[in-house]
Amino acid sequence: MKVDYIIVGCGLAGVAFSEKLKAKNKSFVVFEDSSQQSSIVAGGLYNPVTLKRFTPVWKSEEQLQTALPVYNKLEKEYNVTLDYKIPVIRRFTSLEEQNNWFEASDKVGLKPFLNTTLIDNNNPKIDAQFKLGEVLSTGRLDTKLLVEKYRADLKTKNCLIEESFDYDALSIGHDCVIYKNINAKHIVFAEGFGLKQNPYFNNLPLGGTKGQLLTIHAPDLKLDYVLKSSVFVIPLGNHNYRVGSTYEQKDKTNTITSEARDMLLDKLKTFIKCDFEVLTQVAGVRPTVKDRKPLVGRHQTFKNMYIFNGLGSRGVMIAPYVANQLYNFIENNVAIDAEIDCSRFY
């Protein structure tokens, strides 16, 4: 089999790069062994503002302009709803936070996204005496459904190989890579935290942050927006809500823990004033980097080997933007933005 690309990994990064290749009529196969869960269990929010300190997300306008049309196209292609346009509302805990919000709203990169008209809390099941602030241009992507549909589509087109990638079976030629019976011009590793097992790129500083989330059933809550306080509360429909997330540095497994559940519930109960039932708990390890920027680019030695990783907790927004950067670098020799080029660590 001869193809233009081998892609290893079919989470948000693998989906975004596959979509770029499809748009450019490039042939490819994707390896996926379902060992990484972060794209599937993610809350799926896209939000151009870091709400802890009211700071802008890196290149948020460019990311949104690139990402949303990609997801809209896939919605039409699969005849499903993936992108839910829903406001993200920040709960203020003090007058000082209100003032910080107003100060931030005048900053470059934040002005288009922070509504300066504060919202009165009219929901008796929420404790928000210092009012609420609305972030604009936000939404939720159903990442689980997206990845499931995308993998199923690749499978029907014989483009998905559901097995673990055997690095020892890879041969690097001058102008190609050979993996078993596959001859490809390029190989792109989009493995998420699985990169730690990759002998070609495991020298890069990919940390990994475990996140755990709960799904609760709360008929009396009646939220029609995403509420951000000490945790996010994300409406899913049918009175169900996703609550998260934790940020754990030591544990790198997909195993749920009672400690994380208790921590999330303790935080939730500080501002939610109604009964609820916990339905599920999930965990995944986000691929994170110490400077909070992705790892994108070419291997130091092998010129037809590339990495697409380190999307962290903002994969929904940033993945299509990074896919464009990597594709234009490989095919058109356009330099990758220096802030995300993996060569910054070489």
User: Mean pLDDT in the chain?
Assistant: 94
Inter-CA distances, 155 with 29, 30, 41, 194, 305, Å:
10, 9, 21, 22, 24
Amino acid at 336: I
Task: Say if residues 1 and 25 touch (Cβ distance below 8 Å).
Answer: no
The pLDDT-based confidence of 18 (bands split at 50, 70, 90) is very high
Q: Does the pLDDT of residue 164 top 90, yes or no?
A: yes
Q: Does the pLDDT of residue 224 top 90, yes or no?
A: yes
| Residues above pLDDT 70, as percent of the chain | 100
What pLDDT digit, counting tens, does each position of 257-288 carry? 999 999 999 999 999 999 999 999 999 999 99
First vs last C-alpha separation in the chain:
33
The pLDDT, as a whole number, for residue 105 is 92
Q: Does the pLDDT of residue 25 top 90, yes or no?
A: yes
What pLDDT digit, counting tens, does each position of 30-77 carry? 999 988 888 887 889 999 999 888 999 999 999 999 999 999 999 999
CA–CA dist 191, 321 (Å, integer): 18
What pLDDT digit, counting tens, does each position of 226-247 carry? 999 999 999 999 999 999 889 9
Task: Say if residues 45 and 179 touch (Cβ distance below 8 Å).
Answer: no
pTM: 0.93
The pLDDT-based confidence of 207 (bands split at 50, 70, 90) is confident
The pLDDT, as a whole number, for residue 179 is 97
CA–CA dist 280, 340 (Å, integer): 35
| C-alpha angle 336-332-335 in degrees, rounded to nearest 5 | 20
The pLDDT of 129-135, averaged and rounded, is 95
Structure-block tokens of residue 224: 């029609």
Structure-block tokens of residue 246: 């934790």
Range in 50-54, 66-70, 202-206, 316-320 the model is least confident about: 50-54
| C-alpha angle 196-282-54 in degrees, rounded to nearest 5 | 80
CA–CA dist 192, 143 (Å, integer): 15
Element (H, E) at 340: none
Q: Which residue is it, tokens 């590793």?
A: 189
